[in-house]
Amino acid sequence: MTERVALTGVAETMLATLYGKALQSRGPSPLLPDEQAERAVERIDYDFAKLKIDTKTALATALRALYLDRWAGQALNERPNAVVLHLGCGLDSRYHRIAPGPEVSWYDVDYPEVIEIRRRLFSDEPGYHQVAASVVDPAWLAAVPADRPGVIVAEGLVQYLTRDQISVLLTRLAAHFPSGVVMFDAWNSLAMRSGTRQRAIKAVGAQLGGFGINDPHVIEGLAPGLHFDTEQTFLNVPELARLSKPSQMMFRAMDRIPAVRSMGRLLRYRF
């Protein structure tokens, strides 16, 4: 049975990350095996070719997801009864990849049109919930337990939010839980300027939020209570050894230019 999807703009971008993960997973010795992504791509009736995802983009998507999985897994080891908010989840199967312990409550949150498709592929189960809402809508958070540590993960989301939305959202989330950790990928202003030229973003006509994060500490000023913990860049990671020698040399050269190194990176904050 195939699933028809009719998405536009930012909601449609989740088909690009899904396809990147599936493509990478299908290849020999995948970095991030993701059978759920492979199965979803087979079931969804959509012209994935129009997104022009090549093997390098697929690798970059899988790398970002892999490192976020590691951070999220580590955060859950430290907080076995955490409440996870996976914001802008798209069709990502992080819940199934991480397989959290029984004390964890997990909330996958995305726009109603995305969650409607998601529900055709994944069912709610004890401890696992899919929430159909804009992440910036304050209403849905009322149903989320507030008496346990929070683990907040957002992959491919923050670049679509404005500076004010990021500030209000992170401030609200940090106030909701007694303590916790927030992790997300962020673009700097150089990436924000060139982002609209990215093939998948252009293909779906998604609007970027316009706020480039050059200094991770700027978030501490936007969301009081958050403390910058660490960052992860990707131009120097051991997993790049699977690329050709010329590509590796190119990434090493790019890594030496600070503004290029921090075009796309993971940031982690504690509260």
Ligand X SMILES: C[S@@+](CC[C@H](N)C(=O)[O-])C[C@H]1O[C@@H](n2cnc3c(N)ncnc32)[C@H](O)[C@@H]1O
The contact set with ligand X (CB under 6 A) reads: 10-11, 13-14, 17-18, 88-90, 92, 110-111, 114, 134-136, 155-157, 160
Burial class of residue 120, CB neighbours in 10 A (0-12, 13-18, 19+): middle
DSSP-assigned states of every residue in 53-111: --HHHHHHHHHHHHHHHHHHHHHHHH-TT-EEEEET-TT--HHHHH---TT-EEEEEE-
Q: Quick one: residue 95, left, alpha or beta (phi over 0 = left, psi -120 to 50 = alpha)? A: alpha
CA 24 – CA 20 distance, rounded (Å):
6
Cα torsion 253, 202, 15, 247 to 10°: value is -20
Residue with tokens 């910036």: 136
CB of 256 to ligand X, least distance (A): 28
Closer residue to ligand X, CB minimum distance, 137 or 215:
137
Least distance from ligand X to the Cβ atom of residue 252, Å: 26
Give the nearer residue to ligand X in terms of CB position, either 83 or 157: 157
Q: How far is the CB of 253 from ligand X (least distance, A)?
A: 27
Residue closer to ligand X, measured from CB, 179 or 196: 196
Q: In one letter, which amino acid is 216?
A: P
Distance CA 92, CA 13 (A): 12
CB of 14 to ligand X, least distance (A): 3
Task: Please state the closest distance from residue 111 (CB atom) to ligand X, in A.
Answer: 5
Determine the Cα–Cα distance for residues 240 and 123; give it in Å rounded to an integer: 35
Residue 11 identity (one-letter amino acid): A
How many whole angstroms from its chain centre is CA 168? Answer: 19
Nearer to ligand X, 19 or 269 (CB): 19
Give 11 or 84: the residue with its C-beta nearer to ligand X.
11
**Half-sphere exposure of 157 toward its Cβ, with a 13 Å CA cutoff?**
28
Residues whose CB falls within 8 Å of the CB of residue 267, separated by 6 or more in sequence, listed in order: 183, 184, 185, 186, 213, 216, 219, 228, 231
| Least distance CB 16 / ligand X (angstroms) | 6
Question: Among residues 42 and 147, whose Cβ is nearest to ligand X?
Answer: 42
CB of 249 to ligand X, least distance (A): 29
